[in-house]
Amino acid sequence: MVGRSNVGKSSLINAVLNRKGIARVSQTPGKTQAIHFYLINEQFHIVDLPGYGYAKVPKTMMKSWGELVRGYLDGADSLRLIFLLMDVRREPSEHDRQMTAWTQSAGIDFKIVLTKSDKLSNNELAKQRSLIARELQVDPSDLIAASAVTKKGIDQVRREIISRL
């Protein structure tokens, strides 16, 4: 799981695992400052990477997070799927574009999860989905609209995980 700070990575992990409090949820961007591994049923890991973007931390710490994430992604031989999380209400950031381009060039399978989809009407969601797909130059089928609150899209995320096992 990778995405901007405060995009809902921890909330999505908790929703996918159907357990509250597995991944710590915070209202403050940048609380995840390390790579967190969650061993699931002794079979696979869900990995929560530090967020990028607007966390209120020193630039040196932000740089070290970037190096940490890049080192993990470059060396993770068992990596099967990246979920790139984006707040559906926002346009893709330069970091989102870079992460999408990197996953495509590395040949790593990825799905974009549009978090906080419960905050938009169906009409607004459809517009944002099209806009994000167009801006990132990805197939709209690679986008999963999800909400940790309403559980929309959570089963689809689970299916994507299971299909890689």
Concatenated DSSP letters for the chain?
-EEBTTSSHHHHHHHHHT-TTSSPP-SSTT---S-EEEEETTTEEEEEPPPBSS-SS-HHHHHHHHHHHHHHHHH-TT---EEEEEETTSPPPHHHHHHHHHHHHHT--EEEEEE-GGGS-HHHHHHHHHHHHHHHT--GGGEEE--TTT-TTHHHHHHHHHHT-
pTM of the model: 0.86
Tens of pLDDT along 106-137?
888 999 999 999 999 999 999 999 999 999 99
The percent of residues above 90 in pLDDT, for the chain, comes to 55
What is the mean predicted confidence (pLDDT) over 58-80? 71
Query: Which domains does the chain carry?
Result: 2-163 (3.40.50.300)
Q: Is the pLDDT of residue 105 over 90?
A: no
Q: What is the pLDDT of residue 24?
A: 74
Q: Which residue has the higher pLDDT, 80 or 72?
A: 80
Confidence check: pLDDT of 162 > 90: yes
Q: What is the pLDDT of residue 61?
A: 57
